[in-house]
Structures are given as C-alpha cells and as structure tokens.
C-alpha cells in the first residue's frame, strides 16, 4: 500500500497517554510510513507526563510498531510556564498556562530538543500531529486555525498563539470528529485508554493551585483585608495569590454572596462586590498574536475571554503597536486580567492577546 508521505518527511504524533492522542496515532498510522510517537516530560507529578503516562504511551507505540521518544522539557517548562504562573498570581492576575505551553513547549521546544539530542537540525518539512479538537487550513500560502467540528470540545482557544511557522507543521486528525466518535474508534481499536476520562484541570496541579504555589515558591504571602468597594473591612484574606477575579467560593464570609472584584497589590487588599459589579464592557489586551494578515481598526467580530465560555460580539480598536481596546456589545463578567482574549470570524480564529485591564 502506497503511503501519502515520503520517508524524508518526518511525522510525529504527540502522545499524552489519553484517548484523544491515541486515536490520532491510530488514524495516522495507515497514512504515514514514518510515524513517530513523542511526548514531553515537563513536570514530575504532571497528569500527562508521569511515569505511568509515559509507559502507557510507549506501549501504545509498541502496539502500533512505531518508534517512541519522551523528551525532557522540565527546565523550559519551569522557566516559561511555572514561573510565569506563580508570578502572575503574585501580581494579581489570572494566568492561562495551557495557552503558553502550546505556544512554547508542545509545538516548539519538544521538537527542537528531540533533534538537538540527536545532534540534528530541525527539518523544514516535519509534521506534528496532536489530539486537539481544532482544524488548520492552508489558503494562498497562509495557514488558518479553525474551531473543531465538535463545538463542545473545541480547543482552538488554547491554540490561538501558534505562529504561522508552527501552524504550517501542524496536523489535527480529530478536528472533524465528535468526541463520541473518537470514543467509538477507541473501542474499535481496543485501546486501554478508551475509558479514561478527560483531564479538566491544570496538568501540573495535584489538588489546588493555592497549595501548588505555597509548595513551589516557599514564600510567605502576607494576609490582609477583604474590603468592599467603599473600603469597608469585611474580614481577612490569606494572601493575594490565593484569590482570582470572579471567585466566590472559599472566601469564608457571611452576608454575601460576595465575589472577588479586584486585587490591590499595593494595599494588599482583596476588593469584594456583588456579581453585577463584575460586568465590564471595555478591556485592553497586549502581547497580540494575529492569524489574519490584516486587522482593520474597528473590526467587528466575536471574542471569547475564557476557555469554554460563550463568545460575544465585539469591536477591536488599535491603541499603539501592540495593544488593543476591545468593546463588547454586551457587558460580561468573564473578563479577567491575565487571561486570553481570542477573536473569531465564524469558526476561524482571527487572533488574540492577553487581557491587561479595563478601559
């Protein structure tokens, strides 16, 4: 049987030990004669690169009769993802480490370090397939990112920072499938991962992000006051890093319901409010990454400000070279500094940026 890919063009499938990446590998095997399984070790206790997960990936590749490599990216992951995660909380922001991991580790360092270890340059024609629910299309020499067909599992939000270079190397075998279809294929392929549940939380956090920060930083985070919008003291918080905008649970206060409105790092106070006070209509974003070649001032599109939240209509206004102001058609309580704002035209990702504050 003739394959669609010559041996000179290496094709990797990123494996996590879960059902999605395993099914992706099985779908690719008949198409590519030189398929290779690859994973990145990035945190000792991570749910997707533990010894158990790596062993499962190795067994999957053994059954498929393809090579397998586990690449050590712990140093890069610590510097780029973990340190950023902790420092963002220390500055009163709500970080999005999965977005940064895709941009910097999975689609970049993992491949680079694989070839570095073999003292080889990264080939220009390699492909990297993942089990993400998204699609990529090439049109007139430019690569476009689209939502996955299964809108309930779509992961384009987490992939919006991939560069044109990274998108040009990317394959998403599951982009046109529903999760239910993937589960059926997993049973058909007799995969042991067929009944493993989907991971919903940060892969490197074992219980709560608060405990993770305590253990990782070993710093003392001073307690301070909960205050209302008028400055009246409502109680005492345990340290700014343990709270995030919009949080309701774990405050330990009566007389609410109370929501975290903002974190004042200078005064070490957590400002609480009703839910209505969280509604915002304008926000700023920077560290922009555009997939569309041109973004006219005043562009009307839709924006998603958190993973798995509803899009809303908006307009984009440029404010300097690398900053925009986003005007929402409807006020939203789902806007938090530190999170990603991702813009869409129908199913296509226009681009996105990191929310810095409110305008």
How many whole angstroms separate alpha carbon 142 and alpha carbon 107?
18
CB atoms near residue 17 (< 10 Å): 24
264: cis peptide before it, omega within 30°?
no
| Annotation says 61 is catalytic | no
Ramachandran category for residue 263: left, alpha or beta (phi over 0 → left; psi -120 to 50 → alpha) = beta
From the candidates 61, 101, 301, 314, give the one annotated as an active-site residue.
101
| 305: exposed, middle or buried (Cβ count in 10 Å: 0-12, 13-18, 19+) | buried
| Annotation says 203 is catalytic | yes
- C-alpha triplet 68, 187, 145: angle, nearest 5°: 65
Task: Look up residue 144 and give its two tokens.
Answer: 């476009």
Q: Of 58, 61, 169, whose CA–CA distance to 122 is shortest?
A: 169
Q: Of 120, 145, 179, 171, whose CA–CA distance to 346 is shortest?
A: 145
From the candidates 48, 53, 61, 203, give the one annotated as an active-site residue.
203
Query: Do 214 and 183 form a contact (C-beta atoms < 8 A)?
Result: no
Q: Could you list the active site residues?
A: 101, 203
């Amino acid at each position: 049987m003739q394959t669609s890919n010559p041996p000179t063009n290496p094709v990797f499938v990123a494996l996590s030990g879960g059902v999605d990446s395993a099914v992706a590998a099985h779908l690719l095997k008949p198409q590519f004669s030189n398929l290779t399984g690859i994973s990145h070790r990035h945190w000792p206790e991570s749910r997707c690169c533990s010894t158990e997960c790596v062993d499962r990936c190795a067994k999957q590749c053994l059954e498929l009769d393809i090579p397998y490599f586990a690449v050590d990216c712990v140093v890069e992951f610590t510097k780029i993802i973990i340190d950023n995660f902790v420092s963002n909380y220390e500055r009163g922001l709500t970080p999005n480490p999965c977005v940064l991991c895709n941009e910097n580790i999975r689609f970049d360092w993992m491949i680079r370090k694989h070839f570095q270890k073999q003292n080889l340059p990264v080939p220009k024609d390699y492909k990297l397939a993942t089990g993400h629910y998204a699609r990529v299309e090439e049109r007139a020499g430019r690569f476009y990112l689209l939502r996955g067909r299964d809108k309930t599992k779509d992961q384009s939000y987490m992939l919006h920072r991939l560069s044109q270079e990274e998108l040009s190397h990317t394959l998403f075998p599951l982009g046109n499938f529903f999760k239910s279809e993937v589960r059926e294929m997993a049973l058909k392929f007799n995969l042991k991962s067929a009944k493993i549940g989907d991971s919903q939380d940060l892969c490197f956090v074992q219980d709560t992000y608060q405990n993770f920060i305590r253990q990782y930083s070993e710093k003392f985070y001073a307690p301070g006051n909960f205050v209302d919008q008028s400055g009246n003291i409502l109680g005492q918080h345990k340290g700014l890093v343990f709270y995030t905008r919009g949080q309701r649970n774990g405050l330990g206060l009566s007389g609410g319901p109370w929501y975290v409105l903002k974190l004042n790092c200078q005064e070490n106070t957590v400002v609480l409010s009703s839910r209505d006070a969280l509604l915002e209509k304008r926000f700023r974003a920077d560290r922009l990454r555009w997939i569309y070649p041109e973004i006219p001032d005043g562009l009307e599109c839709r924006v998603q400000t958190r993973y798995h939240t509803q899009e809303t209509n908006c307009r984009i206004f440029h404010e300097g070279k690398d900053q925009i102001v986003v005007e929402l058609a409807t006020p939203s309580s789902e806007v938090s500094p530190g999170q990603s704002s991702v813009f869409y035209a129908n199913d296509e990702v226009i681009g996105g940026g990191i929310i810095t504050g409110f305008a």
